A and B are shown apart, each in its own frame.
Chain A
Amino acid sequence: MTDDLTQLTIKEASRLLRLGSISAADLVTAHVQRIERLDQHVKAFLRFTPEVWEKQADEADRRLRQGDAPPLCGIPLAVKDVLCVRGVETTAGSQILKGFRPPYTATAVARLFEAGAVMLGVTNCDEFAMGSSTENSGYFPTRNPWDLERVPGGSSGGSAAAVAAGEAMIALGSDTGGSIRQPAALCGVVGMKPTYGRVSRYGLIAFASSLDQIGPFARSVDDAAITLSLMSGLDPLDATSSDRAGMEVLNNFGAGVKGMRLGVPREYYDVKGIEPGVKSAIDAALAVLRTQGAEVVEVSLPHTDYGLAAYYIIAPAECSSNLARFDGVRYGMSEVDAPNITEQYLETRRKGFGSEVRRRVMLGTYALSSGYYDAYYLKAQKVRTLIKRDFDEAFKQCDAIVSATSPTVAFPIGSKTQNPLSMYLCDVLTLGGNLAGLPGISVPCGTSHGLPVGLQVLGPQWGENVVLRVARSYEEASGVKTQVADVV
């Protein structure tokens, strides 16, 4: 019985809660018990927050009894370690922030708390969200619930694995180059990155500010949509946030894809290194969408090849500046015994940061340096503009773009850690969406060799409704239901 409660969607759980068949405490207990049984294997969580969930579950049950339950009342939530929660240790997966307890809560998290969600704990991730496998965590790697010898993807691997393993009903991640969509694909759950500016970044420990967006992991498109809608909108604390329209999803996104034109970029369809099993799963998904009345057309994103290079200039450049504040002066790790301030900086950062973070800080510092700025940073920004234009052109010919989320299924732990470039290639189909600031979702679309494959849907800026409509139509018609992994 208790395990059954960990297989539910928000809709199903909310019905039971409102009927009084179960309490919020029951729901939380079921998840906690599952965590106790499974997380020693999956290792999705870095920390648990009983002091938070006890209070929030009590409050949820009180409101359920009063009959004024908010939309996510009692829903178990996991939060990626890059989102600040007041009083809860938040470390961005890094040793340098060990022990840091922010005195504020990220806007996105605060909004879900207001909506009644119950926080179970903090999930593992690549250090400062830099990575595609969660192996760069400063603590330990997370494992894929479908095969414990494989990675869950990353950087939000802990959140994806938690939802896939039935350890949380929904989870939050951040997506800078694919860090929500790629792990969602590899773990067989729904993961969505909204339009840049849709969700406030206040309280999100920054990796690359012009690319970062917060989004949900869930077991269904509906759950992702409702979670996203509850955390969206203008925030006076984030000057890049917006209350643009496009989130009226719950009105029309059940409308199906009949008459819609879906573009398949040939550069994505035939991307180098795509596994045959992934390709055939995508072909099958396109066939399903066609039978639903969508017209599938070929489009082109000619600058795709340059996207990865541009991304690996812009993201490290911003990160080199964003991470300068971790200097051991005010909080976090501090090598105070150093003989002078420069040594204190160097020692703190040498010990506190892992090798991938140090690599990107150095890359970014170099790219912004006088004499190299024009050749690297400025050129990368020009490429970024061209990539945006590619998408603008493509969206003149189609309503949404569909492709695989990741060229491969989950890969074995350790198989890419020695070659950073091979790891960077994991995001080749997702990072264009970040460079152009577009909304994108990954929904499960079957398996290859028993491992989940994800279908990516990208929409025009502020076109969340389009993305969700395609994803939901596929989910409904395909009958591919997000399954909770049977871990051991």
Chain B
Amino acid sequence: MSSPSGDARHLPAQRGGVWEVVIGMEVHVQPRTRSKMFCGCAIGELGDAPNTHVCEVCLGLPGVLPVPNKAAVEACLKTALALGCEIPRHTKFDRKNYMYPDLPKGYQISQYDLPMSINGHLDVGGRKVRIRRVHLEEDTGKLIHAGDKLHKAWESYVDLNRAGVPLMEIVSEPDLRSADEARDYAIELRTLLRTIGASEAEMEKGQMRAEPNISIRREGSSELGVKTELKNINSFRALHRAILFEVERQKQLFEAGDTVVQETRGWSEAEQRTFSQRSKEFAEDYRYFPEPDIPPLELDRAWIEDLRRGLPELPAVRRARLVADHSLPHRDVAVIGADRELADLFDGAVAAGAPAKQVANWIVAEVAPSGKLPSAQNLAELVKLVSDGSITRDQAREVLVESVETGRTPAEIAAEHGHKQVSDESELRVLAEAVIDANPKAAADFRGGKKQAMQALMADLRKRAPQANPKVANELLLKLLG
């Protein structure tokens, strides 16, 4: 598709000043469907034997016809709605004509001048990034060359498992200003896609491909510079690094009095650099024209409204609510707001009566890193056991693990292990004295003014007695050392 960064050719002013980075993103996302875009073939997995998910349609045999996959259209419309796009009444497919051995029909079915949606936006870190369009197309196959370099390969093999796999192309305007923003945009997009169930958007599995278009200009300039488009990016980390590299490369070119050539550049993970793939000096003529085998789609308004109503709470709305309703700190909002399952767990546990801040704390510190989710009911119960002083945090951690594994309730598990919290001062005083005796150096340090020595004493105390109420024990130590 046309690239979002500009085509204007100009030399940024050679005089000093700060460089401004201008990035537009083209992101290809594989919608969650059972079958390919225009035939009934199953979507294979990475690493399946070549040409095992193919039929006469995706092989491009003579006389066969494409029939659009409704699930893919639906995923694309949901994505467009979640991005606040306008959905035109009419949309159509077009043929993009070029010959290549991984393209069985000699054309790719895509969308040209009447895409499924236009003019949306995605908020990234408080900034509004405009979305130009979201449209639907089909993937191509894959070439495997005997030998690692194409021009040296004696034989090339074609694997058409990917040919005809549906792809949504999400094109942003050139609104991003740094590698950080570009990465955050991609992550935010993935969060959105997962939240609405449109795609797994797993970059490592090839379900999401980000292609940034990058140019630089002197700050204050409103013109767009000559851009390069980066490909072969397989992770958010690679996206970030590739952009940093490319921006630096462009700066050095300009500062050496050179110019940037409009081209497609690949990112080499091994060498951590971009390299020229294909010059766009002479733009290829794709001879787009309306796909005659698929009648134009008239998008039923009632269907669109049904899809809109069916959308779950979107990440941005969810984050705003977490702040407004529960005054959660930014760190917690970032984690919980980014994952629909964590957010649902939070809402469930709070609804079950657990205090919001503690629930958030437990989710961010324990649940999210482990990736294993307890039921909302169980999490709520656990948080309550800790907050009413029935068990200690350390005990609660063990209980959580066991509860996730067995599905049993935290109260049951705690009772079985005899977990309880000891807050009795006379009992704890004996313990505190023993700790001070066993750690004469730490005790002396504390008395000498090194306040952080208390940490070592508390650690030893909790090791000796995990059931000790840390707050009471701490007060006793202070009193004894004072």
Q: Which residues of A contact B (CB under 8 A)?
A: 82-84, 90, 92, 97, 100, 102-104, 106, 201-206, 208-210, 236-240, 317-318, 320-321, 323-327, 329-331, 341, 345, 365, 368-370, 373, 377
Nearest B residue to A94, CB-CB: B62
> What's the nearest-Cβ distance from chain B to residue A375, in Å?
14
Contact between chains at A237 and B65 (CB < 8 Å):
yes
Nearest B residue to A83, CB-CB: B63
> What's the nearest-Cβ distance from chain A to residue B153, in Å?
11
- B292 / chain A contacts, CB cutoff of 8 Å: 208-210, 240, 318
Contact between chains at B65 and A202 (CB < 8 Å):
yes
> What's the nearest-Cβ distance from chain B to residue A195, in Å?
14
- A240 / chain B contacts, CB cutoff of 8 Å: 65, 292-295
- A97 / chain B contacts, CB cutoff of 8 Å: 62
> What's the nearest-Cβ distance from chain B to residue A237, in Å?
6
Instruction: Known contacts A102-B56, A104-B56; decide if A330 and B104 are in contact (CB<8 Å).
Output: yes
Interface centre among B61, B66, B158 (most CB of A within 10 A): B61
Confirm or deny: B287 has a beta carbon within 8 angstroms of a beta carbon on chain A: yes
Contact between chains at B293 and A102 (CB < 8 Å):
no
- A209 / chain B contacts, CB cutoff of 8 Å: 292-293
Contact between chains at A324 and B99 (CB < 8 Å):
yes
Instruction: Known contacts A102-B56, A203-B63, A203-B64; decide if A329 and B101 are in contact (CB<8 Å).
Output: yes
Chain B 317-337 against A: per-residue CB contact (8 Å), 1 yes, 0 no? 000000000000000000000
15 inter-chain pairs at a CB distance below 8 angstroms, sorted by A residue, are A83-B63, A90-B63, A92-B62, A103-B56, A104-B61, A201-B63, A205-B62, A239-B68, A239-B295, A318-B292, A320-B287, A368-B289, A369-B287, A370-B287, A373-B287
Chain B interface size range: 20 to 34
- B107 / chain A contacts, CB cutoff of 8 Å: 321, 324
Contact between chains at A341 and B106 (CB < 8 Å):
no
Q: How far is the CA of A84 from the CA of B289 in the complex (A)?
A: 26
Q: List the 5 closest pairs (A to B, CB-CB), nearest first.
A: A324-B106, A210-B292, A368-B287, A209-B292, A205-B62
Contact between chains at A204 and B63 (CB < 8 Å):
yes
Contact between chains at A239 and B294 (CB < 8 Å):
yes
Q: Which residues of B contact A (CB under 8 A)?
A: 56, 59-68, 95, 97, 99, 101, 104-107, 156, 158, 285, 287-289, 292-295
Contact between chains at A239 and B67 (CB < 8 Å):
yes
Nearest B residue to A104, CB-CB: B56
Contact between chains at B289 and A317 (CB < 8 Å):
yes
Contact between chains at A239 and B63 (CB < 8 Å):
no
Nearest A residue to B56, CB-CB: A104
> What's the nearest-Cβ distance from chain A to residue B109, in Å?
11
Interface centre among B68, B105, B158, B292 (most CB of A within 10 A): B292
Contact between chains at B60 and A330 (CB < 8 Å):
yes
Nearest B residue to A340, CB-CB: B151
Q: How far is the CA of A48 from the CA of B287 in the complex (A)?
A: 40
- A201 / chain B contacts, CB cutoff of 8 Å: 63, 65
Contact between chains at A206 and B287 (CB < 8 Å):
no
- A210 / chain B contacts, CB cutoff of 8 Å: 292
Contact between chains at B61 and A102 (CB < 8 Å):
yes
Contact of B99 among A82, A84, A90, A345 (CB under 8 A): A345
| Dominant secondary structure at the A interface | loop
> What's the nearest-Cβ distance from chain B to residue A226, in Å?
25
Interface centre among A326, A329, A373 (most CB of B within 10 A): A329
Instruction: Known contacts A103-B56, A341-B101; decide if A370 and B285 are in contact (CB<8 Å).
Output: yes
Q: How far is the CA of A108 from the CA of B324 in the complex (A)?
A: 63
Contact between chains at B105 and A324 (CB < 8 Å):
yes
- B97 / chain A contacts, CB cutoff of 8 Å: 320-321, 324, 368
- B285 / chain A contacts, CB cutoff of 8 Å: 369-370
Nearest A residue to B158, CB-CB: A329
Contact of B60 among A106, A239, A325 (CB under 8 A): A325
Instruction: Known contacts A324-B106, A370-B285; decide if A106 and B63 are in contact (CB<8 Å).
Output: yes
Q: How far is the CA of A202 from the CA of B63 in the complex (A)?
A: 6
Q: How far is the CA of A137 from the CA of B62 in the complex (A)?
A: 18
Q: How far is the CA of A326 from the CA of B97 in the complex (A)?
A: 13
Instruction: Known contacts A327-B106, A365-B287; decide if A84 and B62 are in contact (CB<8 Å).
Output: yes
- A208 / chain B contacts, CB cutoff of 8 Å: 292
Additional A-B contacts beyond A202-B63, A240-B65, A325-B60 (5; CB < 8 A): A201-B65, A210-B292, A239-B67, A324-B105, A324-B106
Q: How far is the CA of A43 from the CA of B67 in the complex (A)?
A: 37
Q: How far is the CA of A205 from the CA of B106 in the complex (A)?
A: 15
Q: How far is the CA of A345 from the CA of B65 in the complex (A)?
A: 23
- A324 / chain B contacts, CB cutoff of 8 Å: 97, 99, 105-107
Contact between chains at A100 and B62 (CB < 8 Å):
yes
Contact between chains at A331 and B61 (CB < 8 Å):
yes
- A377 / chain B contacts, CB cutoff of 8 Å: 289
> What's the nearest-Cβ distance from chain B to residue A488, in Å?
36
Contact between chains at A325 and B63 (CB < 8 Å):
no
> What's the nearest-Cβ distance from chain A to residue B448, in Å?
80
Contact between chains at B287 and A325 (CB < 8 Å):
no
Interface centre among A84, A236, A321 (most CB of B within 10 A): A321
- A320 / chain B contacts, CB cutoff of 8 Å: 97, 287
Nearest B residue to A241, CB-CB: B65
Contact between chains at A205 and B63 (CB < 8 Å):
yes
> What's the nearest-Cβ distance from chain A to residue B41, in Å?
14
- A84 / chain B contacts, CB cutoff of 8 Å: 62-63
Instruction: Known contacts A201-B65, A369-B285, A369-B287; decide if A321 and B106 are in contact (CB<8 Å).
Output: yes
> What's the nearest-Cβ distance from chain B to residue A81, in Å?
11
Q: How far is the CA of A104 from the CA of B62 in the complex (A)?
A: 10
- B101 / chain A contacts, CB cutoff of 8 Å: 327, 329, 341
Q: How far is the CA of A204 from the CA of B95 in the complex (A)?
A: 19
- B68 / chain A contacts, CB cutoff of 8 Å: 239
Nearest A residue to B96, CB-CB: A321
